[in-house]
Amino acid sequence: MARFADGTHIQPDILIGADGIDSSVRDVIAAGIEPQALESIVYRAVTTVDLPEAYRSQGVEIWGNGTYTGGAPIDADRFYWFATAPGPAPADSTGPVDTIAALRNRYADYPEPIPTVVGSLDADEVFVTGLRDIPSLETWSCGSVVIAGDAAHGMLPFAGQGAAQAIEDALALVHALDMQDGPTTAFEEFETKRKPRADRIRSESHRLGMLGLVQSSVGIRARNLAVKLLPGTIFRWFRRRRAAQTSLPEPTTPTEPADIST
């Protein structure tokens, strides 16, 4: 039986917990598991901006001193921007105008298009959250209860795969429920297909975060040297692998309708 905060309750055949990184349903499967927080925050915004020509059709990522910033165009004059920063979220006493001024000052000397994008930000476009993920779980289901998405594998944003992995979960779970006789075997198939890939990407995103958030001068120099020495094909291979090695069900060929003409 599932009970809700307003006092109502239901008794469904199955319960799918897709209730985010702070999942309540997860406690049924893995009691006591809490999100792990980094000592950093992330700013995000979608802004209208006149981009330099070179960045109107491609994204950008820049690693700095304790910060990782970048984004991608999502329209002719709109850009999705993000940036991490060490420390807690701004205090309530820090107003939106102060936050924008601090961001513009911090990223003024960064390569384009970051200064242009940050210079275009309005206070009501920017929101800030902490950076959290959850440790790998032993299992994603218990009886007729299963979790998916961030409830099962909440990850840091550095691999750019959080939403994509939740979508893969949804498709794989529906397919397993459709193909198997009962929820237990369906959930086992779902977990077998999805858990290794989701856990691998969660770990990869965590490692990328550790690299992007380095603050020591020695660590920054070592990281930047290593990146310079690695061929660009290596980075492209990692990105292609994330996208190509999905655990999605194979598409089925539609059945031809029967000819009932007379």
For residue 35, the model assigns a pLDDT of 94
Residue 3 bears catalytic tag:
no
Question: Are both 99 and 48 inside the same structural domain?
Answer: yes
Question: Are both 29 and 52 inside the same structural domain?
Answer: no
Q: Is residue 45 part of a domain?
A: yes
Mean pLDDT of the chain: 86
Residue with structure tokens 């599932």? 2
Question: Are both 143 and 23 inside the same structural domain?
Answer: yes
**CATH code for the domain in which residue 221 is found:** 3.50.50.60
Q: Is residue 260 part of a domain?
A: no
For residue 51, the model assigns a pLDDT of 87
Q: Which of 44, 104, 200, 223 is catalytic?
A: 44
Question: Are both 31 and 41 inside the same structural domain?
Answer: no
Is residue 125 over pLDDT 70?
A: yes
Q: Is residue 101 part of a domain?
A: yes
Question: Are both 55 and 21 inside the same structural domain?
Answer: no
pLDDT in tens, 168-221: 999 999 999 999 999 999 999 999 999 999 999 999 999 888 888 887 888 878
pLDDT in tens, 105-119: 999 999 999 999 999
pLDDT in tens, 48-100: 999 888 888 889 988 888 888 999 999 888 999 999 988 776 665 455 667 89
For residue 93, the model assigns a pLDDT of 47
Domain limits at 113?
Answer: 37-132
Q: How many domains does the chain have?
A: 2
- Asked if 66 contacts 215 with a C-beta cutoff of 8 angstroms, the reply is yes
Sheet holding 68-75, edge to edge: 60-63, 68-75, 78-86, 36-48, 127-133
C-alpha angle with apex 16: 13 to 17, nearest 5 degrees? 140
**CATH code for the domain in which residue 69 is found:** 3.30.9.30
